[in-house]
Amino acid sequence: DAPKPLAGKRALVTSGPTVEPIDPVRYIANRSSGKQGHAIAEALRRLGAEVTLVTGPTRLPDPPGCTVRPIETAREMLAACESALPADIAVCAAAVADWRVAGESDRKLKKDGGGPPSLALTENPDILATLSQTGPGRPALVVGFAAETGNVVDYATAKRARKGCDWIVANDVSPGTTTFGGADNTVHLIRADGAEDWPTMGKDAVAARLAEAIARHFNPPSPP
């Protein structure tokens, strides 16, 4: 059997988009496929972690061996994450909607001849920043993602500080890259001591390499 360096560790992974209702039939969402987050859940499980995957709607099968908590809105994602604590590891790979509609309608909005409605937006909770807050329940290792177009490492380094997480996986989503929805990803792993550039590889390979780095963080090689 493969070694299980993360046996006994609890991991929380967020994945997919969030879906924010406008009214009972309409919503605001985004193009996240969930491929990277689901692959990370599966890779952590393969190394022996007990994994809870909190995910927005995707077309992906549930990763084997993981507890899957399906949610729609950012607020539901935050509540599901908080109820999955305590955890040793949190990886926030979800594309959480930054805004939701303020005062969503409980009836379908009508074309009443008065012209299109205007939607007022309000800010969603930041799940990564919330999980990163220091306190007794904070996971020992909190990992976020940063999708940037240009100055990827600089922006992601600033984001790491702003969010208060331990590591950031930064990827370039400039036009011409196929990160969103595609199979491959080109990432940089940003930790307190600097950035590591990884070659372009499949999202499964990024997940496996990230899970290995997490396992090494918890079981550092003993000094000679």
What minimum distance in Å lies between the beta carbon of 3 and ligand C5P?
Answer: 28
Query: 98 among the known binding-site residues?
Result: yes
Bridge-based pairing of strands 20-21 and 67-70 is unpaired
Q: Which residue is associated with the tokens 């780095």?
A: 213
For ligand C5P, the closer of residues 4 and 75 by Cβ is 75
Residue of 36, 11, 55, 39 whose CA lies nearest to 147: 36
For ligand C5P, the closer of residues 5 and 125 by Cβ is 125
For ligand C5P, the closer of residues 48 and 81 by Cβ is 81
What minimum distance in Å lies between the beta carbon of 117 and ligand C5P?
Answer: 25
Catalytic residues: 30
Report the alpha-carbon distance of residue 168 to residue 14 in Å, rounded.
14
Query: 23 among the known binding-site residues?
Result: no
Query: 163 among the known binding-site residues?
Result: yes
Query: 106 among the known binding-site residues?
Result: no
Sites of contact with ligand C5P (CB under 6 A): 14, 74, 92-94, 96, 124, 126-128, 144-146
For ligand C5P, the closer of residues 47 and 170 by Cβ is 170
In this structure, is the dihedral angle defined by the CA atoms of residues 175, 180, 183 and 189, taken in order, positive or negative? positive
Token pair for 138: 């904070």
What minimum distance in Å lies between the beta carbon of 51 and ligand C5P?
Answer: 16
Per the annotation, binding residues are 98, 108, 125-128, 145, 159, 163
Per the annotation, binding residues for CTP are 98, 108, 125-128, 145, 159, 163
